Amino acid sequence: MRSTTEARAQASPPVRRRAARLPAFASRKSTIALGMTLPLILIIGVLVLYPAGYAFYLALLSKSMDRFVGLANFDFLFRRETFWMVVKQSVIFAVSAVLFKALIGFLVAHCVHNVPARGQRKWRGMLLVPWVIPPAMSTLAWLWLFDPSYSAFNWLIQHAGGEGVPWLGDPYWARFAVILVNVWVGAPFFMIMYLAALKSVPEQLYEAAAIDGANWWQKLWYVTLPMMRNIIAITALFSLIVTFANFDIVRVLTNGGPVDQTHVFATWAFKLGIEGNDIPLGACVSLFMVPILAIAAIFILRDINRRGTEA
Amino acid sequence: MVTGTRAAVGIASRGSIGRDRRRALFWSYFFLAVFVIFFLTPPVYMLITSLKTSAEISAATSPWWVFSPTLANYVELLTSSTYLTFFRNSALVALLVVAITMLISIPAAFALSRMRFWGSATLATGVFLTYLIPDTLLFIPLFKIFAFVREATGIELLDRWWLLVIVYPTLTIPFCTWIMIGYFSSIPKELDEAALIDGAGYFQLLTRIFLPVALPGVIAATIFAFTVSWAQFLYPMAFTTSADQLVLPVGIVTTLIKGDVFNWGQIMTGALLGALPPLVIYAFLMDYYIAGLTAGATKG
C-alpha cells in the first residue's frame, strides 16, 4: 500500500502542473472523489436513511398524524391477536422457507457439480429459471395452479385416486403454499451460490481424503462443509432478510387470507398503512422487521471486516 | 512420486470407485430431473394456459395439455392499449433506472476503490449495509413524504410512473456500487500508475482504462439493475393507481383480475410476456447474470 502511494506521489507532478490553473480546491484528489460519490450519498441519504428514520417518528403519531401519542400504537398492536399471529407466521414463514431453500440448493448444487462438466451448463441454465422470472408474475402461475375449481394439481391428485386439496382455502394449506412458492423462487439462488462455492474447493483436498479412506459422507462433513461454511452462512443471512421482508408472493397468492392467517409483516403493514389509511400503525408494523435486520447486518458486517483484513 | 502413488491407488481400487461413481451419477441425474420438473412446472403451465381459449380452460379436459392451440390471447393483449401502456411504462422505467444507476454507481465505485479519502472505507461498507434495508420498511414513510411534497409544493408525485424512476435507484445503486468496487479493486494498481505517469486525469483513467477492463462487471451490474427494476412490485403497488401509470407486474395483477372474473388465459399470457425480457437477457447473457448474482458474496 505504502509503495503505491509513493509511486503515485512521484507520478503526480505532470498532472499537478496542468491542473495548477484551476483553483487548488477543485483539483484536490479528495474534492474530486467527493464529487464522484456525492450523488450516491445524496440519494441514499434522502431516499433510504431519511425515510428509515422517519418511519420511527411516524410510528409515534396518531392515526390522523396531527398528534404525538408516544408508544400508544405499539400498545394497541400488542393487544391485538392478529399482530401476534402475524409475528408467528412471519417467523415460521422465514425460517422454514430459508431452511428448505438452503437444503434444496445444497442438494441440487451437489448434483450439478457431480454430472460431467459439459452437461452442467444446461442443467444450471434450466434450474435458475424460477429466480429469473419476476416473482409477481410467477406467483400468478402458482395462483392458477392452486385455483379452487380448476387446480391442475388437484386434477392430477384426483386422477391418481386422491382427494383435491383446498390449497389456498385452508389456513394450514395456505401457509404451506406461500412457503412452497417462496422456496421455489429462492432455492435456485442458493443453488448458484453453493455451486460457485463447490467449484472453489481444491480438488487435492478430496484426493487426500480419498487416500485416507474417507467415504462420501466424511468428505462432505470434513472437507466440503468447512470449506463452504462462509458462503452458506452469508447466503442464508441474505435470504433470511429478503424472506422476512417478503411482500409480492404473499400479496399475490393469498393477500393475507384466509382471515389474515398468512399475513407477514410487509403485507399486513401494507394493508393497514396504505389500504387502511393508518400510516402510523403501518409504520409501526413494518418496524418489527428491524431487529432481525440489525442482527443479520451485524453478522454480515463482521464477515466483511474479516475479509477486509485478510485481503 | 506423488502422481505415481496416486495412479497406483487409482488402479488398485478402480472397480469400487467406478461402481460408486455410477451410483452417484444415477442419483444426481435423478434429483436433477425431479427438481427441473418442480422448477419448470409453473412457467410451462403458464405457456400451456396461454395457448388455450376460455372455453377450453373451463372444460373438463386435462389442464396439462392444449387440444386446440390458439394465439388469440397473445393477439388480444398485444393490440390492447392498456397492456401496451404497462409494457411501455415498465420499459421506460427500467431503462432510465439502469442509466441513472450506472451514472451514479460507477464514478462512486471508482472513487471508493481507488481514491482513498477520509471515510471512504466506512462509506463503502455503509453503502453495502443500505442494500440490506428492504423496500418493505421504506414504502410507508416514502408514501407519506411524497404526500407531504404535494401539500408543500403542489408537485404531484404519487400516481406518476416517473416517480418510480426516482425511487428504484435506491434499490439498485447500493448493490451495483458494491459489485463495481469489487471489480475495480481487482484491476492491478500498475495500470493506473502507468496512466497517471502518462498524464491522464482521473476521468480519463476511469473511461479509458477502468471501464474497458471492468466491462464484464459493468454488464453484470446493468443486468442486475434492469431485472430489479423490471420485477419490483411493492413500490408501484403503493405509489401508483391509475391504469395509465401502472407498470407490468402491478398492471397484470390489478387490471386483468376484474372482481371475481379471472380470465386465466389472458393473465397467463400477460405474465409470460412480462417475464420475457428478463428471460431473454438471461438466455443470452447467462454468465454475466450469474456473475452479478454471485459477486455480492464472493467479491469485495
Per the domain annotation, does B61 fall within a domain? no
CATH architecture of A72-310: Orthogonal Bundle (1.10)
Is residue B206 domain-shared with residue B125, that is, in the same domain?
A: yes
Task: Please state the rounded mean pLDDT for residues A6-19.
Answer: 46
Distance from CA of B280 to the nearest CA of A (A): 10
Query: Which chain A residue is nearest to residue B34, measuring alpha carbons?
Result: A108
Identify the three-state secondary structure at position B233. coil
pLDDT greater than 60 at residue A217 = yes
| Residue B179 within any structural domain of the chain | yes
> B181: which DSSP letter?
H
Average pLDDT over residues B203-228: 91
Q: How deeply is B155 buried, as exposed, middle or buried, from its count of CB atoms within 10 A (0-12, 13-18, 19+)?
A: exposed
Q: Give the model's pLDDT for residue A47.
A: 93
ipTM value for the complex = 0.88
Specify the domain boundaries for CATH 1.10.3720.10 within chain A: 72-310
Q: What pLDDT band is residue A143 in, cutting at 50, 70 and 90?
A: very high
Contact A51, B145 (CB under 8 A): yes
In the stretch 127-146 of chain B, residues with CB closer than 8 A to chain A read 127-130, 132-145
Residues A275-293 have pLDDT tens digits of: 998 999 999 999 999 988 8
Cβ <8 Å between A134 and B293 = no
Report residue A25's pLDDT band, with 50, 70 and 90 as the boundaries.
Answer: low
Does residue B59 belong to any structural domain of this protein? no
The whole-number pLDDT of residue B118 equals 79
Greater pLDDT, A67 or B12 = A67
pLDDT of B125:
85
Q: Are residues B6 and B78 in the same domain?
A: no
User: Is the domain of B10 the same as that of B96?
Assistant: no
Same domain, B248 and B122: yes
Task: Specify the higher pLDDT residue, B115 or A209.
Answer: A209
Tell me, yes or no, whether B18 and B107 share the same domain: no
C-alpha distances (whole Å) from B145 to each of A62, B67, B157 are: 17, 53, 10
Q: Is the pLDDT of residue A152 over 50?
A: yes
Residue B186 within a domain: yes
Are B217 and B113 contacting, i.e. CB atoms less than 8 angstroms apart? Answer: no
A130/B230 touch (CB, cutoff 8 Å), yes or no: no
Contacts of B271 in chain A (CB under 8 A): 137-138, 140-141
Domain check: are B29 and B94 in the same one?
no
pLDDT value, residue B16: 58
Q: Which class for B160: exposed (0-12), middle (13-18), buried (19 or more C-beta within 10 A)?
A: middle
B81 and B31 share one domain: no
Predicted pLDDT at B271: 94
Mean pLDDT on B154-165: 91
Task: Give residue-wise pLDDT tens across range A220-243.
Answer: 899 888 888 888 888 888 888 889
Interface contact flag, A43 B169, Cβ < 8 Å: yes
> Given this model, what pLDDT does residue B203 score?
85
- Which residue did the predictor score with more confidence, A27 or B26? B26
Asked if the structure places residue B60 within a domain, the reply is: no
Domain count of the fold of chain B? 2
Nearest-5° Cα angle at A64, A59 to A66: 80
Q: Is B199 close to A296, i.e. CB distance below 8 A? A: no
B46-68, pLDDT tens digit by residue? Answer: 999 999 988 888 887 888 988 88
Q: What are the C-alpha distances in Å from A128 to residues A55, A143, A178, B44, B70? A: 36, 21, 20, 14, 29
Return residues 101-130 of A near B (CB < 8 Å): 104, 107-108, 110-112, 114-115, 121, 123-130
**What is residue B114's predicted lDDT score, i.e. its pLDDT?**
84
Residue B7 to residues A201, A204, A216, B13, Cα–Cα distance (Å): 22, 14, 20, 10
Mean per-residue pLDDT for A193-202?
89
The partner residue sitting opposite A144, judged by closest CB among B189, B237, B268, is B268
- Is A184 in contact with B39 (Cβ distance < 8 A)? yes
Range of the domain at B273: 72-298
Q: Based on the domain organization, do B79 and B139 belong to the same domain?
A: yes
Whether B38 and B96 map to the same domain: the answer is: no
Q: Please say if the pLDDT value at position A4 is more than 90.
A: no
Q: Is the pLDDT at B35 greater than 90, yes or no?
A: yes
Instruction: Give the model's confidence band at A173: pLDDT under 50 very low, under 70 low, under 90 confident, else very high.
Output: very high
Instruction: Give the nearest partner residue to A36 out of B107, B196, B267, using CB atoms.
Output: B107
Chain B window 60-99: which residues touch A at a Cβ cutoff of 8 Å? 62-64
Secondary structure class of B108 (helix, strand, coil): helix
pLDDT of residue B3: 44
- B91 and B217 share a domain? yes
pLDDT of residue A192: 92
Q: Which three cell numbers stand for residue A80?
A: 391485538
- Say which of B32, B111, B140 has its CB closest to residue A269: B140
Task: Give the nearest partner residue to A133 out of B29, B43, B197, using CB atoms.
Answer: B43
Residue B67 included in any domain: no
**pLDDT attached to residue B254:** 85
Would the pLDDT of B131 be above 80? yes
Do B26 and B79 belong to one domain?
Answer: no
- Average pLDDT of the segment spanning B14-35: 83
A133 in contact with chain B, both atoms CB, cutoff 8 A: yes
Angle made by CA atoms A245, A249, A253, in degrees to the nearest 5:
140
Min Cα separation A16/chain B (Å)? 9
Among B136, B151, B229, B241, pick the best mutation site for testing chain A contact (most A Cβ within 10 A).
Answer: B136
Query: What per-residue confidence (pLDDT) applies to B202?
Result: 83
For the cut 80, the answer to whether the pLDDT of residue B258 exceeds it is no
What is the distance between the alpha carbons of residues A265 and A269, in angstroms, rounded to a whole number?
A: 6
H/E/C letters for each residue in chain A? CHHHHHHHHHHCHHHHHHHCCCCHHHHCHHHHHHHHHHHHHHHHHHHHHHHHHHHHHHCCECCCCCCECCCHHHHHHHCCHHHHHHHHHHHHHHHHHHHHHHHHHHHHHHHHHHCCHHHHHHHHHHHCHHHHCCHHHHHHHHHHHCCCCCCHHHHHHHHCCCCCCCCCCCHHHHHHHHHHHHHHHHHHHHHHHHHHHHHCCCHHHHHHHHHCCCCHHHHHHHHHHHHHHHHHHHHHHHHHHHHHCCCHHHHHHCCCCCCCCCCCHHHHHHHHHHHCCCHHHHHHHHHCCHHHHHHHHHHHHHHHHHHHHHC
A251/chain B closest Cα distance in angstroms: 9
Domain of residue B144, CATH code? 1.10.3720.10
B42 and B87 together in one domain: no
Average pLDDT, chain B: 87
In the predicted model, what is the mean pLDDT of chain A? 86
Predicted pLDDT of residue A24: 62
